[in-house]
Structure 1
Amino acid sequence: MNKITVIGLGAGNLEGLPLGIYRMLKQAQHLYIRTEKHPVVAELAVEGILYESFDEVYEAHDQFSDVYEEISKRLLELATKKGNITYAVPGHPLVAERTVQLLLAKGKERGIEIEIKGGQSFLEPVFSALKVDPVEGFSLLDATDLRDYHIQPKMHHLICQVYDAFVASDVKLTLMEVYPDDFPVTVVTAAGVAGQEKITTVPLYELDRLNEYSNLTIVYVPPTEEDQTLNRQFWRLREIVAILRSPEGCPWDREQTHQSIRKNLIEETYEVLETIDDNDPEALCEEMGDLLLQIMLHSQMAEEDGYFTVRDVIEDLNKKLIRRHPHVFGNSEAENAEEALQNWKDIKEKEKREKGKEVASLLDGVPRDLPALYKAYKYQKKAAEVGFDWDKLSDVLDKVKEELEELNEAQTLEHRREELGDLLFVIVNVARFMKIDPEEALALTNKKFYSRFSYIEEKLREAGKTFADTTLEEMESWWQEAKTKKKEGI
């Protein structure tokens, strides 16, 4: 059976190599090393040990993942041709060594045995240099595949594979998603190598400004208890809400139920919509937080009752998003937004049938508690989907005239209320034919009315007058003045 023997070169120089590993290197007939950029390699050359490196592969690819794929592919081909080969890597073969993992995954299917021989990893000398006890909890991360969700601020983090300033820059930007810009981080290069070890602590924003990066560089991020960092974590929000609901928490929060804060959810939703209409990102951020709090409170109450947790909420949402976007996560296709929306609707209806939730009416899918105007709009869209609709806009406008006449003819309050509702309903149909959201249109008019009426109030204050001693003609004049100023952009 063909075989690749993988040897770890350790984290230091030749003196740190076990005697058995040194002898294997000396006796290897076909020795390949991942990179020459390691203290041991130069000393091996002095000892007369022959080898071939894969450094040129790094120059041929832009992505490290492609480098590791090619190196592992070449090694498997060499083992197929030559029978037994030796492959030497920095540190320990099973610590932060992607090529070895690829060999282990692919060797068996190629009929090639992968034998791992030890070597000191960089972890021990790094912990020694930093004087950190790993039992406190640490995470070893790859700089070339670092994501902000990998970071746990209360743990020690060692980030390896920081080969150069470009990789360091990517690491910096990712860490800035979690930590303040001036958070102290430590760069350790050649840990445990006599005469070469270097330790530098810098604020995070300066991480990519150093000149000491090499394949022997590690970035260390210490644990923190600072609120500025922890308050950006989702688990911290969940912890705070749980504390508020606990016996030691807030008396008001403890007393609330799903029903008692039901109205808060609606109010916070409308406050979010207001910031969107005002095009105010800062206020939107704050109001989105208030809305999220309502979700967290309801989830916490459900957890206390043993029904579900916020993790279940997130899991169900993720599964739904994946399930209802087969054109993104599956094999279906959607050439445009309309096809994507139709995919969503078809899957949603299928899910309802599978759950046994057959609806008595097509309109039952519209939420009961929508505002009346928007509910009318949704009803009309549902009916139009199955062909219950006017053919053209002029027909709808004729219906508006008809309903207006019927309103004029109504004599009793009850009859007028009914006819006014009919008129409003058909006005919503006009909006739908014009592809205008009636809720948004009315919200815009409300905002316009507020602005112009406020202008009248401002003029009253300037004149030292009140509404009681002001004529309608004066107010109308100021109203028209407000319209003019708006048109002129004043």
Structure 2
Amino acid sequence: MSTNNPQITVLGLGTGDEDQLTLGVWKKLQLAAKEQAVLYLRTKDHPMVQMLDTNQIPYQTFDENYLAHQTFEQVYESIAEALIQSAKTQSSEVIYAVPGHPMVAEYTVQLLKQRCPSEGISLQIIGGESFLDQAFLRFGFDPIDGFQLLDATSLSRYTLNPQLHTVIGQVYDTLTASDLKISLMEAYPDDYRVVVGHSLGVTGVEQIIEVPLHELDHVKGYGNLSLVWVPRSEQDELYYRTFGRLHEIVQILRSPEGCPWDREQTHASLRKNLIEEAYEVLETIDEDDPEHMCEELGDLLLQVMLHAQMEEEIGTFTVYDVIATLNEKLIRRHPHVFGENKAEDADEALVNWNAMKAEEKRKKGIDITKQSVLDGVPRELPGLMKALKLQKKAATVGFDWSELEDVLNKVEEELTELREAIANPSEVGAQDRLEELGDVLFSIVNVARFLKVDPEEAIAQTNRKFIQRFSYIEDQIRLRGLSFEQTELSEMENLWQEAKKVAKLGQS
């Protein structure tokens, strides 16, 4: 066991050209050889190693660790552990040399920074030229224009920003390049020009290859010294795919220099628009029209953006607060996904959801024991939908029919009462007839619930069927050169029956 204070010194070997190696690092390497300090290299796969061999500077490498572990994370953790144990047992300083700069895309150094203090090991880091220096030089862009550095092995669509120059490291092989291509194509056109750099700054080895994005994984020669540069774009089409651009456009529309109509809108004036846009989305779902659905979902999203923008203008919240609230709620109410709870099916998931809702109310100081079972049903829901939700809530406490036959009998009873109200107009007023009709509709919704059918979907389907058949009648009358005034009801009924037969033939 070493009696001295254990120490690890990390050196950056630069990008690979010996002319770019810093004088301080070179002196440290030479001194290590003279004092017989232990020199470790993360990998022998680096051009500077030839200079070590030429100058007879002994070293050990961790290349075998790459073969012994399945993931890079496991490799880097094993290297950090080996360095720490070596520092504790060696009587001299442990020197660890890595490609490039130790603080740029070097996970082993980050692990050492985390662990060395608690292990009682002194850690010194001496920088070297980073691959970024050569990227700025060889690719020829100024990072002050906007720049981000990303890791190809953990790249997310949500980190990409077309307004910034993007340099992507850790493109070790063709498989990584292929995964990177797929991620980039979610934000950039397939033919967007990107640049691959192999061994930048290394004389006689360097390659700079520009290709369309869809050919990124066709490039040969990927390895430890490979980078991909995605130049920043001025194309409006790329910004159209960003949420930030949508927020910016809505701000402009509502600004004094924006659209007079948009400026005049209030929450109240847009109320009906929100409802209409939601129903237009439902139409596209019923029609199974994805292209139209994409457009209508955009119109619905615009309503959300406008309402949020109005609140942003008076300082209450922004659309980003809306998103943050939603994200927090989704995570909180799905403990079976983001926590330790389990849910084997949809029913269990719903139990978790309702439990979290109840817990949220308790934290807000709401006494749920004093709340009505029927609370939580939106006041402005369409009638059939609201009736269904009310019935479901009542059923949770046992207030329900036991058999479908009982529900059907209730429908007959309500129909009888409606007939009696209609038959005695002198005794029953319009309001009573309205209520009796409502009772019939409410009982029909109960039937739908027992059949596990959404009554809104059922009536929507019947509405579509009616439109198709009535349109057939209109077409046939028009083809005969007639009008409705010239057509008897009996003839229209015949055409209606024809329409039913035509529809059945079309389905067969």
- 2:24 corresponding residue in structure 1: 20
> Aligned partner of 1:47: which letter?
N
Q: Report the counterpart of residue 337 of structure 1 in structure 2.
A: 346
1:53 CA drift (Å): 2.0
User: Separation in 1 of the partners of 2:27 and 2:49?
Assistant: 14
> What's the offset of the Cα at 1:48?
2.2
Q: How does 1:279-358 map to 2 (within 5 A)?
A: 279-357=288-366
Correspondence for 1:75: 83
Does 1:126 pair with 2:135? yes
**CA deviation profile, 1:177-229 (whole Å, cap 9, x unmatched):** 11111111111222221222221111111111100322111111111121110
Distance 1:333 1:360 in 2: 28
Match of 1:47 in 2: 55
User: Is 1:63 equivalent to 2:71 in the alignment?
Assistant: yes
2:465 paired residue number: 448
Aligned to 2:434: 417
The Cα shift of 1:109 comes to 2.3
Aligned to 1:479: 496
Give, in whole Å, the separation in 1 of the partners of 2:81 and 2:492. 83
Deviates more, 1:423-432 or 1:475-484: 475-484
Show the counterpart of 1:388.
399
Corresponding position of 2:14: 10
1:285, CA displacement in angstroms? 0.9
Deviation at 1:331, TM superposition (A): 2.6
Q: Secondary structure at the match of 1:365?
A: coil
Alignment of 1:66-465 (within 5 A): 66-83=74-91, 84-357=93-366, 361-410=372-421, 411-412=424-425, 413-465=430-482
Stretch moving more, 118-127 or 350-359: 350-359
* Structure 1 contact 36–42 (Cα < 8 Å) conserved: no
Please, what TM-score do these two structures have when normalized by structure 1? 0.96
Q: Shift of the alpha carbon at 1:62?
A: 4.3
Do the aligned residues in 2 keep the contact of 1:187 with 1:219 (CA within 8 Å)?
yes
Q: Please say which of residues 29-38 and 476-485 is displaced more in the overlay.
A: 476-485
Q: Which amino acid in 2 is paired with 1:73?
A: E
Structure 1: distance between partners of 2:60 and 2:477:
89
Match for 2:6: what amino acid? Answer: N
Q: Post-superposition shift, 1:456?
A: 1.9
Distance 1:23 1:360 in 2: 77
C-alpha contact (below 8 Å) 1:400/1:427 kept by paired residues: yes
Report the Cα offset of residue 140 of structure 1.
1.1
Identity value in percent: 58
Q: Aligned with 1:4: secondary structure?
A: strand
Unaligned residue ranges in structure 2 (runs of 5+): none
Question: Is the 8 Å Cα contact of residues 182 and 204 (structure 1) preserved in structure 2?
Answer: yes
Q: 1: CA distance between counterparts of 2:311 and 2:87?
A: 59
Q: Runs of 4 or more off by more than 6 Å in structure 1?
A: none
Distance in structure 2 (CA, Å) of the matches to 1:448 and 1:70: 68
Deviations 1:110-151 (A, max 9, x none): 232222112111111211112212222211111111111111
**Distance in 2 of aligned mates of 1:56 and 1:478:** 83
Q: Deviations over 1:213-269 (max 9, x none)?
A: 221111111111211101101000000000000111001001111111111000000
Question: CA 1:101 to 1:486, structure 2 compared with 1: closer, same or farther past 3 Å?
Answer: same
Structure 1 stretch 143-152 or stretch 298-307: which is displaced more?
143-152
Distance 1:265 1:352 in 2: 27
For residue 96 of structure 2, give the secondary structure of its aligned residue in structure 1.
strand
Deviation at 1:480, TM superposition (A): 2.4
- The alignment partner of 1:186 has SS state of strand
Q: Please tell me the residue identity of whatever aligns with 1:384.
A: A
SS class of match (1:7): strand
CA, structure 1 residues 100+360, in 2 after alignment: closer, same or farther (shift >3 Å)?
closer
Over aligned residues, Cα RMSD in angstroms? 1.7
SS of the residue 2:412 aligns to: helix
The aligned amino acid for 2:233 is: T
Structure 2 distance, partners of 1:405, 1:85, is: 95
Q: Is the contact between residue 180 and residue 228 of structure 1 (CA under 8 Å) also seen in structure 2? A: no
Report SS of the residue matched to 1:163: coil
Separation in structure 1 between the aligned mates of residue 372 and residue 67 of structure 2, nearest angstrom: 65
User: Once the 2 structures are TM-superposed, how far is the Cα of residue 364 of structure 1 from its aligned partner?
Assistant: 2.8
